[in-house]
Amino acid sequence: MFLKSNQTISGYKKTLKIKIILYILFFSLLLFRGNLAQTTKRQNNEVGISIGLTSYSVKDQLASPLNYSGIYIPFGFSYFYKSLLNYHRFSLGYNSQTKLKSRISSSAAHIAEFSYANLQYEYARHITGFFNNKLRLYLGGKWNNNFTVREYSFSKYNGEASGEVFSSIGLLLLSNYEYSDETNMQISLSFPLLSYIVRSPYSLKDEPILEAIIGDSPFTSVAKLGSFHSLNNLKMFNTSLVLIQSLSSSFNVRFGWELSYFWFREPKSINSVAINYDVSILYRF
């Protein structure tokens, strides 16, 4: 937790947002360029943009014993490569500052401002098929990177901020059912096996984290403050249901539902649930 004035926290956050966006965009362009060079000839590529609606609730014992919840609008960019044997997905998600309210009060003293950035890469390989291969099962892995900040306001002059930075590698199970030449349905389940997590310590003084975030090399500096965790300290899973409908030879529309759960117990427990509905327009080439 940080104990800072609202003005100071706002300054940290603006600086942080700019750096996070620049670093992630630079990385995503490099990764997208590499995948594109390898797969352009196969015509199994898709790029798309998405917008959604997410219901989010969180209870972070470091900052407050209350439950906070709210609705935000996430934006995303995705790149897919799909074939009968291989599935690749790269995605970048982000939401602007969103107000969360406690469940026992809607007053200014019980409001938290929430924002996050997410970078994911998924790979799965076909393992078996049913019904003349209309139903295909894939098994693979998921690399998930997430940055979350929550700013709690308890008075007009100060507040506490809490958040997590984590990178995880986990298992991905994916099924794809080809209902027709124009319609596909996908169901996925993923969970982390090993994660590297940076979290606010059980203290009112977080100057090392703040200095690392706003420094010249925030990712390198922040990474030194974290530790590795497996299933004993971290419980997290993600499941999704997706319907993909072809609009033309070049465009698809994608409707998605996603449930995400996160629980971590150090130094004090935090648990959160997010239910997301989104729609994407995909360009196929």
Task: Specify the CATH number of the domain 2-284.
Answer: 2.40.128.100
Weakest-pLDDT range from 50-54, 158-162, 200-204: 200-204
For 204-218, what is each residue's pLDDT tens digit? 455 555 555 545 555
For 232-259, what is each residue's pLDDT tens digit? 888 999 999 999 999 999 999 999 999 9
Question: Regarding predicted confidence, which is higher, 153 or 74?
Answer: 74
Percent of the chain with pLDDT over 90: 49
- Indicate if the alpha-carbon torsion angle 8, 13, 16, 17 is positive or negative: negative
DSSP 226: -
> Taking every pair of C-alpha atoms in the chain, what is the biggest distance, in angstroms?
65
pLDDT at 218: 53
Structure tokens at 240: 């999704």
- Label residue 36 by pLDDT band (50, 70, 90): very low
Q: Is the pTM of this model over 0.85?
A: no
Burial classification of residue 250, based on how many CB atoms lie within 10 Å of its CB (0-12 exposed, 13-18 middle, 19 or more buried): exposed
pLDDT at 38: 47
Helix (H) or strand (E) holding 219: helix 218-223
Helix (H) or strand (E) holding 74: none
For 101-132, what is each residue's pLDDT tens digit? 886 655 555 788 888 899 999 999 999 999 99
pLDDT at 40: 42
Q: What is the distance between the alpha carbons of residues 153 and 2, in angstroms, rounded to a whole number?
A: 12
Structure tokens at 26: 């630079």
Domain ranges of the chain: 2-284
For 67-90, what is each residue's pLDDT tens digit? 999 999 999 999 999 888 999 999
